[in-house]
Each structure stands twice: as C-alpha cells, then as structure tokens.
Amino acid sequence: MYKSKSRLSYTFIFLASFIIVSCASQLIPKGAFVVDRDKPFHVEIPSNLGRGYQWKLADTVNYKVLSHDSKPNIDKSQATDIELFEITTSKKKGSHQIVFYYLRPFEKNIDTANAEKFVKIIFVKK
C-alpha cells in the first residue's frame, strides 16, 4: 500500500506541474494591453509634433494602423501633444511587443537604430 500512495503522489505532482506550466503560458504580463485579434485597440503616446517628429509603427506586417491623430497634452508635463493610434493585430494568442519609432517622416534615410523607441506589451486573448 505504501508504494501505491507514493505513485499516486508522483502522479499528482506531475499532473499539477503540467497544469501550472500550461497555464503559465497564458498569463498576462503586468501593464499589458489585453486585445482581441483583428479588433481595434488604442495606443496613446506623448509627443512634441512641433519639432517635426512623430511616432511611426515599426511592424506593419502584423499590425495595421486604422487611424492616426493627435490632441494637445493638457498637463504639458514633458510633451505638448498626444499621438493617438487605432490599431489592429493579426498576431496569435499570447504576449507580444508593439514598437514605435520617433522619426521625421520627411527624411529619406531613416535610422531606427538611433531613434527614440516606444514599446508597449500587448496580450492577444483571441
């Protein structure tokens, strides 16, 4: 009887570990936007549009910008404007990064390696 209890304990531990590992892949990272695949979501980024720079989405294959607008930043703490993006993603379920670069859109040779970067974590739930 002692051996069967031991086997039962090991089986339970194995199954519990499997469940924990399976569920861990579905955990939502702290601070992440929770979004649905192919449904619009919004991103707001502080900006200073008067300097000729604006935020540009880095990945246009997995993300599509539906609209891009701006509004004045009311608190004017560090930025005079807020850029507003309405975006959809074709990414599969899970945690992903969405990256924007702060660039001058009229420049021909864009150097993203030295550009300011804004990164937001999203979690696609469906």
What is the average pLDDT across 55-67?
94
Of 33-37, 61-65, 74-78, least confident by mean pLDDT is 74-78
Residue ranges of the domains in the chain? 29-124
By the 10 Å C-beta count (0-12 exposed, 13-18 middle, 19+ buried), 95 is classed as: middle
Determine what percent of the chain is predicted with pLDDT higher than 90.
50
In this prediction, residue 24 carries a pLDDT of 45
Q: Which amino acid is at 100?
A: F
Contacts of residue 25, defined as CB under 8 A and 6 or more positions apart, other chains included, come to 94
Nearest to 7 by CA among 40, 113, 23, 15: 15
**Which two tokens mark 80?**
């005079």
* pLDDT at residue 21 greater than cutoff 50: no
Give pTM, 2 decimals.
Answer: 0.74
3-state secondary structure of 122: strand
Cβ–Cβ < 8 Å for 60, 13: no
Domain 29-124 - what CATH class?
Answer: mainly beta
pLDDT digits (tens, 9 = 90+) for 110-122: 778 888 999 999 9
As a whole number, the mean pLDDT across the chain is 83
